[in-house]
């Protein structure tokens, strides 16, 4: 959301935004699409941004080089549940951690629990 709401901008969000503008690949779990739609809708509903700003933001996202990871197989659920439980993460946060671990990629998040779990799994953390 720091890309959409200027009052949430951080050094890390600016860094990843610059990568996105340059066309760098940004890997996301498939659930990210639903999460971003929800956050944008809630942000408009709370009048933090206008509907026009939301539309422009979503159009801009469509210009970035997102690589969408397919949803997990049902056979993956025990492994993912164990990952979530071992780090006390939500299933949603476990999806991001799992993706970073499987692809050996750094993770960009401001979520404290997810940052702690990533560090415990030796996943590189991008600046907050």
- Give the pLDDT confidence of 51-67 residue by residue, as tens digits: 999 999 999 999 999 99
Same domain? 61 vs 99: no
Number of domains present in the structure of the chain: 2
Domain with 34 in it: 1-67
Same domain? 61 vs 116: no
Same domain? 35 vs 86: no
Of 100, 110, 80, give the one whose Cα is nearest residue 13: 110
Helix (H) / strand (E) element for 28: namely: strand 26-29
Same domain? 1 vs 63: yes
Same domain? 77 vs 110: yes
Verdict on whether the full-model pTM lies above 0.85: yes
pLDDT at 4 over 90: no
- Tell me the C-alpha distance between 81 and 78, whole Å: 5
Same domain? 57 vs 1: yes
Q: What proportion of the chain, given as a percentage, has pLDDT over 90?
A: 80
Same domain? 93 vs 127: yes
Of 36, 33, 30, 11, give the one whose Cα is nearest residue 98: 30
Domain end residue (candidates: 16, 32, 67): 67
Domain end residue (candidates: 67, 83, 118): 67
Same domain? 46 vs 77: no
Same domain? 60 vs 85: no
Q: Which positions ≥6 away from 1 have C-beta within 8 Å?
A: 8, 39, 43
Overall average pLDDT of the 12-22 stretch:
87
Mean pLDDT of the chain: 93
Domain end residue (candidates: 67, 89, 113): 67
Side-chain half-sphere exposure of 44, counting CA atoms within 13 A:
14
If you count them, how many residues does the chain have? 128
Provide the pLDDT for residue 70: 95
Same domain? 80 vs 63: no
């Amino acid at each position: 959301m720091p890309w959409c709401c200027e009052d949430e901008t951080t050094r890390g969000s600016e860094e990843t935004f610059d990568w996105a503008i340059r066309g760098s690949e940004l890997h996301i779990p498939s659930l990210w699409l639903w999460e971003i739609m929800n956050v944008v809708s809630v942000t408009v509903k709370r009048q933090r941004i206008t509907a026009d700003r939301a539309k422009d933001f979503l159009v801009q996202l469509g210009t970035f080089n997102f690589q969408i990871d397919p949803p997990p197989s049902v056979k993956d659920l025990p492994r993912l549940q164990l990952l979530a439980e071992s780090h006390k993460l939500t299933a949603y946060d476990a999806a991001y951690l799992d993706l970073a671990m499987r692809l050996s990629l750094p993770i960009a998040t401001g979520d404290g629990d997810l940052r702690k779990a990533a560090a415990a799994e030796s996943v590189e953390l991008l600046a907050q």
